[in-house]
Amino acid sequence: MRRQFCNCSAPGCQSWCVLPCDMTLPWGPLLSLLAALSAAETLTTPQASSNEVLKHHEPGLTESQNLVIGNALVNLRGSEPNETGTAPSPTTGAPGPALELTPVCPKGQVPLGGGEGCSCPGELVKQGESCACPAGFRQQGAAECQDVDECAGEAPGPCGLHANCTNTRGSYTCSCHRGYLKGPGGCQDVDECALAEVTGLQACRGGAECRNSPGSFSCSCAVGYVLALDGHTCVDMDECTFEEQCRREFGNVCINTPGSYICQCQPGFRAETPACVDVDECRESPDVCAGQGVCENTLGSYRCVCQLGYKGNGTHCEDENECASGRHGCDSNARCGNIIGSYFCQCYQGFNGDGYSCFDVDECTVNNGNCQHNCSNEAGGYQCHCLPGYELTPDGHNCTDVNECVTLNRTCDQVCMNTAGSFLCSCLPGYQLHIDGQSCVDIDECKLQKGGCSHECTNTLGGHTCHCPEPLLLDLDNATCVNVTSCDLRNGGCAHVCTVRSEGSVHCSCKIGWELAEDQRSCLDVDECGDFNGGCEQVCMNHPGAFNCSCREGYEPRTDDPTRCQPVCDPPCQNYGVCVGPNSCDCPAGYPGPGCSAMCSPPCAHGGTCMRWNMCLCPPGWTGPGCHTAVCELPCANGGRCVGPDSCQCPSDYTGSQCLTPLCTPPCQNGGRCVDVNKCTCSGGWQGARCQIEPVQCQTACKNGGVCVGLNRCRCASGFTGDLCETAVMTPCVPPCQHGATCSPHNKCTCPEGTAGLRCEKLTCPVVTTVVSMARAVRKGVRESYVDRCGPLGVQLCTKYRINQARVYLQAYRGVKKPYKEVIDISRDESHSAGMRPLSFVRQVMAACLHPELLHSGKLPADVCQRAQRLLRECDGDSVGSYSDTCGIPHVQRTVAEFITRRDGGVPSFPENIFISSGSQRALMVVLKLLAQGEGVSQTGVLTPVPTCYTFPMVLAEVGAVMVPYQLCEEQGWALQVEELRRVLQASRGHCDPRVLYVINPGNPTGHVQSRKSIEDVIRLAAEERLFLLANEVYQDTVHGEGVEFVSYKRVLSEMGPRYSDTVQLASFNSISNGIGEGGLRAGYVELLNIDPAVALFAEILLCTDICAPVTGQIGLDIMADPPRPGDPSYGQYAEEVQASWETLIRNVRRVEEVLSALPGVSCQPAVGGVNVFPRLYLPPGAVEQAKEAGVEADQLYCRRLLEEAGLCVGPGCESGQKEGIHHIRLHVKVPAEVMEEALGRLRTFHLRFMSEFS
């Protein structure tokens, strides 16, 4: 072993190292280890210190390295370990072994051990006489080499373009990008399409076209096909899943075909490949409305808007009998007479006037009305009256005596004698007249000389009777008593038989069945039934002088022996049955029915006879079990049904015994013949749909199949136009051109400025970013309507009407004379201004909170005081004048959360998610502030229902968001359609960033209520498109449609499961304006769900500082969320008031729909929720043209005229948004019934006058 000098890292450290001569040490790791060991030895003497350092590094050392380190430790310690395990410290200066000489090396090199030469230190290598790092490394410090990252330079780098460079220690490697191969000049593009042709392995499949691109390739499909998910295969596109050209909502059928589709069209549409094109019945059949209405084409059909004085079923008009329908202006005292297209009024007899206003005539002032006695005037006539005892004759003027003896019931007791104007009573002999002049009383003749009796007298009513003592008899004068000597006088006093004995005395005897009484004159009946029941088998009945036998119920006497009885069966036993007891027959087999009749189940119908074994014998014309099947020898045609023998029940379009004769409704006129359903063949030159047009001639014949329909007027066949049908109509473009583009030859669209695309469907003008703040527009008096023609849809929003409304109110205030007493405003959702009364409980609690002294006055119900005290305790100082928590009174937040939980069937709501606001609109604005961002194409878009609440565009303008309108389907009761949402989402992208979906449920102003399924579809779309849901549910307590119920978005979201309930972001709104009708208190709430935690804190700060509700409003909100309950003192009155308000709302909705639907040019979709009705107006072209000249929408013109001429304020439809060319009005219906009736009366009168003016 040689000793070699070692350098230690510790200052002043020098020692000897014993190294094998042939060992090359890894200086870097060993030097650092030795330095650590030296430091350990310097600081402490125990061998354990160096051992601990060695243990820490030992797992990474080789066996030889361990040996070297061990020797180094011995040298560091100066000697072998002594007995105590200690070694001299280097710092003591203890002498060591002799030092050897070290060779001198060139600069940068270090000497080798034993003086054998020099080498480069560390990782350096010799390059001539100097040391340097190997290729791929750069020197770092004196002896270290750092790898050079050749790939870190600027592109394209050492590997060139289209390659990846990977650094390695001392070098690098290159690999080509996908789609490239290494070649002589670097990485070169692989032509996958050409490679596929050579190898036969198709890059694109299913008919796809392969297109090479640098580093890749793409596959494209022919029209009608789309790429599959693998990106290489073309599969047929099912256009029927999204293509709307077939108009499937009208019943048309879309059938997918490879690469295309075909449409099967319903009547009212014409198949023009590849679409169902609406047939314009109004153009092809100009007289379809028979000249009594204006034809208006609709998709798939048409409607006749009937002229004033006519009504129709939508497809034809006929004279309206205003008198029968009650829609006339005749006075109640006038007769209404109908005439074609109108009516007339004529006052009833006894009234004077023009028929529209009639007043009574007093006929009694002239000649006493020709009455014989008295005359009294009545409304519309007069009446003659007679003096007492007289009655009016049929002529109504003269009087005749009343025979009271005949007409009056029980006028006199006995005898009545009529006199002029009266009567007299008298009595029969034996009676005398009572002092009342009518009654008769009996005279007791026995008191006057015994009534003439010789012996005894007995008084009777109206007479008396004489009696004789034994043995005297009463003589023939009925008064004198004489001795009996023969049978001649009163039968000798015998009751039955009198005989004279030989000695001259009288003997009495009795007839058979009688026996002589003890007086030997009278006869007594003998009771034969007492002995052996009189010989009767069942019942013996005794009679005076006789008896007879009878039978008990269910039996009758036998004809051969009346004393015997036999059972009675009703009905009698038939078919050889035997009556064995009352109504009990012993029947032969096969006759189980009553009286052994045959029994059929079901019974034989149509006069069939039930036979044995449940069989029916059917009469002619009927057959089948039970004779229920009619038999028609000649079959019923055209869908007719055989309902009786040779009797067909025909559909509405056919008649006749076999339904072979078509019907035309209305019938063909002037000799025309109905040859097919509603198709007439005219004769004699008559023309028209019902042969109602007189024969005419055209001086020049109509061309191309046209028909002469008037003097020199032709009705052209489809595809031609012009006075003589000489000009061919260009085939319409399919699909149709959009945004006002014109269809040019060869199915091409010529696009107007600002549009582009094959069908001009793309808008190239910039998106309106502010929507022209509606609030500023109203303040500045903007006259023109706002139409965002660069948005996804042309939606009209008008501003001028409110300015005009303010002007009329100002005129009324200043006393400007108008044809009405006051203005009725039903244009706003505000009930109190129209006269609706507030809820007593709300005002009582409010009064108690504002005036706490009322709490102990005894004037308020106990539950009112308890509620007020509880709310005051939540306020600082027990006063509503103090500030509340910015997010709302905590107690009210809890009450609202409990209310929502009850409403949603137990779905929990948490107070921390509830923010009390100063109304739903304010809360809506603040939430939109959180969501609105960006400009231009990145500006936040809010999908908004059209029609919508007329204030919502102002909110969007205020927060800087873009309105993306989606149309509600009016034909389906203003339903929300997910297909429409998808359409506008697609159309709006590229104009803005649609990220928010706004829904109103129940709808305002439409009154539509979403079903659970509809809400589920909306939630799925929101999850799919990552849309934030805003649910305006302020009308949830106004659902009044039969079978319709409100379901909240939150409840449906929860019931759809975590996939949606944990991900879809939702803000739902409610307020007290409709909950309890207290809009002026300004309070509501918003509940936030699934808000991003990063946004939630900012949202809480903004919501709590920007929408804080007044304390009085929060009191109202607490009452809305927790109203009186059954058993509370105030519940009875509260429930009664709520019910009355509810019934008024329902009654007004139905009444508005009834009245407006009966007006010409008005249609009304049934409202099932909310407080508004939104009817559609079909205004005459003249009115539309006049509005255009005035620079307003036609419904604005209508509402302005209605306000100025009738004093009725309703909202024009353009305020809420609507399609171009469509017009509506909005009526608020939560008003008192009498106000509603007055408003409807004004509206009806004005509407008829307005329509007549422009007809």
Q: Are residues 1031 and 1114 in the same domain?
A: yes
Q: Does residue 733 contact residue 276 with C-beta atoms inside 8 Å? A: no
Q: Do residues 1121 and 1185 both lie within one domain?
A: yes
Copy the structure tokens of residue 895: 């009450």
Are residue 389 and residue 351 in the same domain, yes or no? no
Tokens, residue 1108: 């804080």
**Long-range own/partner contacts, residues 823-826 (CB < 8 A, 24 or more apart):** 823/1203, 823/1207, 823/1208, 823/1209, 824/1207, 824/1208, 824/1209, 824/1235, 824/1238, 824/1239, 824/1242, 825/1209, 826/1208, 826/1209, 826/1210, 826/1227, 826/1228, 826/1229, 826/1231, 826/1235, 826/1236, 826/1239
Contact 1165, 973 (CB under 8 A): yes
| pLDDT value of position 26 | 44
Phi then psi dihedrals of residue 964, to 5 deg: -110, 95
Kindly state whether residues 1054 and 1010 are assigned to the same domain.
yes
Alpha-carbon distances of 469 from 374, 504, 683, rounded to whole Å: 69, 21, 113
Report the distance separating Cα 109 and Cα 131, nearest Å. Answer: 7
Strands 171-176 and 748-750: unpaired
Instruction: Tell me the HSE value of 21 on the side-chain side, using a 13 A CA sphere.
Output: 6
Question: 458: which strand partners?
Answer: 465
If you search the block for the tokens 């878009």, which residue do you land on?
941
Residue range 1194-1229, pLDDT digits in tens: 999 999 999 988 999 999 998 888 888 899 999 999
- Dist CA 1084 CA 1109 (whole Å): 8
- In angstroms, how far is CA 683 from the centroid of its own chain? 52
Q: Is the domain of 130 the same as that of 26?
A: yes
CB 563 within 8 A of CB 536: yes
CATH of the domain at 381: 2.10.25.10
Which region holds residue 858: left if phi is over 0, alpha if psi is between -120 and 50, else beta?
left
Q: Both 1031 and 1165 in a single domain?
A: yes
Structure tokens at 312: 């129709």
Residue 283 lies in a domain: no
* 893 plus 1011 within the same structural domain: yes
Phi, psi of 1013 (to 5 degrees): -65, -40
Same domain, yes or no: 471 and 547: no
- Which of helix, strand or coil describes residue 109? coil
Between CA 120 and CA 209 the distance in angstroms is 66
C-alpha span between 1145 and 834 (Å, rounded): 13
- Cα–Cα distance list, 1253 to 469, 1179, 1186, 1241 (Å): 112, 11, 12, 18
Domain-embedded: residue 106: yes
Q: Which secondary structure element, helix H or strand E, spans residue 1187, and what is its range?
A: helix 1181-1190
Round to the nearest angstrom and report the end-to-end CA distance of the chain: 129
Q: SS3 for 924?
A: helix
Q: Is residue 318, in this structure, part of any structural domain at all?
A: no
Predicted confidence (pLDDT) per residue in 50-86, tens digit: 444 444 444 445 444 444 444 444 444 443 434 333 3
Crossing angle, helix 1111-1121 and helix 862-873, to 10 degrees? 130
Is residue 1179 assigned to a domain? yes
The answer to the question of residue 768 being in a domain is no
Q: How far apart are CA 1248 and CA 343, in angstroms?
A: 14
Q: Cβ-count burial of 341 within 10 angstroms (0-12 exposed, 13-18 middle, 19+ buried)?
A: middle
- Residue in 1250, 1230, 1253 with CA at minimum distance from that of residue 1242: 1250
- Asked if residue 431 lies in contact with residue 441, where contact means CB atoms within 8 angstroms, the answer is yes
Residue 823 domain-assigned (yes or no): no
Query: Is the bond preceding 1005 in cis, omega lying within 30 degrees of 0?
Result: yes
Task: Check if the beta carbon of residue 280 is closer than 8 Å to that of residue 1162.
Answer: no
Same domain, 1188 and 1218: yes
Rounded-to-integer distance, Cα 954 and Cα 961, Å: 10
**Helical axes 840-850 vs 1131-1157, angle rounded to 10°:** 130
50 and 63 assigned to the same domain: yes
Query: What are the structure tokens assigned to 401, written together?
Result: 């005596």
In one-letter notation, the amino acid at residue 1199 is C
Pair of tokens at residue 976: 């929300």
* 553 and 470 part of one domain: no
Residue 580, phi then psi, degrees to nearest 5: -110, -5
Residue 159, helix vs strand vs coil? coil
The length of the chain in residues reads 1255
On whether the CB atoms of residues 171 and 136 are closer than 8 A, the answer is: yes
Of the residues 528, 559, 592, the one at which a domain ends: 528
Full residue range of the structural domain in which residue 167 is found: 149-183
> How many whole angstroms separate alpha carbon 338 and alpha carbon 710?
30
Query: Which single residue is written with the structure tokens 């400009």?
Result: 935
- Taking the C-alpha atoms of residue 729 and residue 714, their distance in angstroms, rounded to an integer, is 15
Q: Describe the crossing of helices 27-43 and 47-57 by its angle, rounded to 10 degrees.
A: 150
Q: Is 1007 domain-assigned?
A: yes
CA distances for 510 relative to 498, 523, 526, 749, 1242, angstroms: 9, 6, 11, 130, 100
Phi, psi of 253 (to 5 degrees): -115, 130
Helix 27-43 with 63-77: angle, nearest 10 deg: 40
List 467's β-bridge partners, or say none.
456
Residues with Cβ within 8 Å of 143's Cβ and at least 6 positions away in sequence, in order, are 27, 120, 121, 122, 123, 124
Using DSSP's 3-state secondary structure scheme, residue 397 falls into coil
Name the one residue in this structure whose structure tokens are 């008005």: 1162
What's the CATH number where 1228 sits? Answer: 3.40.640.10
CA nearest to 1074, candidates 1103, 1132, 1029, 1032: 1032
Token pair belonging to 720: 């031609």
For residue 699, being part of any structural domain is answered with no
Boundary (domain end) residue, out of 304, 331, 360: 360
Q: Report the pLDDT value the prediction gives residue 114, as an integer from 0 to 100.
A: 67
φ, ψ at 1077 (rounded to 5°): 70, 30
| CA dihedral for 639, 641, 642, 648, sign (positive or negative) | negative
**Is 477 found in the same domain as 597?**
no
Tokens in use for 696? Answer: 């005419």
Number of domains composing the chain: 10
Local mean pLDDT, 10-residue blocks, the chain (1255 residues): 38 38 41 44 40 47 47 42 38 43 74 76 83 88 87 84 88 87 82 75 83 88 87 87 78 88 89 84 85 85 87 86 88 88 86 87 90 92 92 93 82 89 91 91 89 90 88 83 81 87 82 88 89 90 91 92 92 89 88 84 86 83 85 87 88 87 87 85 79 70 76 70 77 69 68 72 43 32 32 42 50 56 86 84 93 91 93 87 80 94 94 88 89 90 92 88 93 92 93 95 93 96 96 93 93 94 95 81 91 73 76 91 93 92 92 91 91 94 91 92 91 89 93 93 93 86
Q: How far apart are CA 952 and CA 429, in angstroms?
A: 103
Measured CA angle at 855 (ends 851, 861), to 5 deg: 120
Exposure of 174 by Cβ count < 10 A (0-12 exposed, 13-18 middle, 19+ buried)? middle
Dihedral angle, C-alpha 1129, 1134, 1135, 1139, nearest 10 °: 160
Q: Using DSSP, how many helices (H) and how many strands (E) does the chain show? A: 25, 84
CA 525 to chain centre: 90
Q: Which of 508, 556, 561, 568 is nearest to 535 (CA)?
A: 561
Cis peptide before 735 (omega within 30 of 0): yes
Cα gap 303→871, rounded to integer Å: 59
Rounded CA separation 112/115 (Å): 6
Contact between 662 and 675 (Cβ < 8 Å): yes
Would you say 736 and 727 are in contact if contact means Cβ atoms under 8 Å apart? no
